[in-house]
Structure 1
Amino acid sequence: MLKNTNIQKPIEEPQKPKPDECCGGGSCCPCVWDTYREQRKAWLEVNEKLNKT
């Protein structure tokens, strides 16, 4: 019998940008907050899948 050796390790939760990482001007593309939100969404999806198994 074969064992499943494809065990996924949960990725670390992304950290919110520090106050000095955002200029607050709203003209950066992408903004550090845009990147954070995308990474957090991906993190939530991965962890949701891992919790269902």
Structure 2
Amino acid sequence: MPRATPKDDPQPVPPVQPDLDDCCHSGCNPCVFDLYDDALERYRTALAEWQARQAQQTPHTATRQSKPRSHR
């Protein structure tokens, strides 16, 4: 079975935070900032899931600590 590559499972991209000027200050429901908060929560969930997948795909190799060579 072929292994997944980063192209197959790209890292999620965070949403762009709205500028203060993007809010009309008229009490819209939902406000652009409410929509951003929802998108940010979905991003955080997707990022955590992506990181878990990446951890599973990374081979667990033992790191060997090399000893300094002595000059003879």
TM-score, scaled relative to structure 1: 0.76
Q: Which has the larger radius of gyration?
A: 2
Percent identity over paired residues = 22
Higher RCO (C-alpha 8 Å, min separation 6): 1
Q: What is the SS of the residue equivalent to 2:45?
A: helix
- Provide runs of 4+ in structure 1 moved above 4 Å: none
Structure 1: 5+ residue stretches without partners: none
Greater helix proportion? 1
Alpha-carbon RMSD across the aligned residues, in angstroms, is: 1.7
Structure 2: 5+ residue stretches without partners: 54-72
Deviations 1:6-31 (A, max 9, x none): 83212211111111101223x20110
Q: Give the aligned residue type for 1:41.
A: E
1-structure distance, mates of 2:23, 2:40: 17
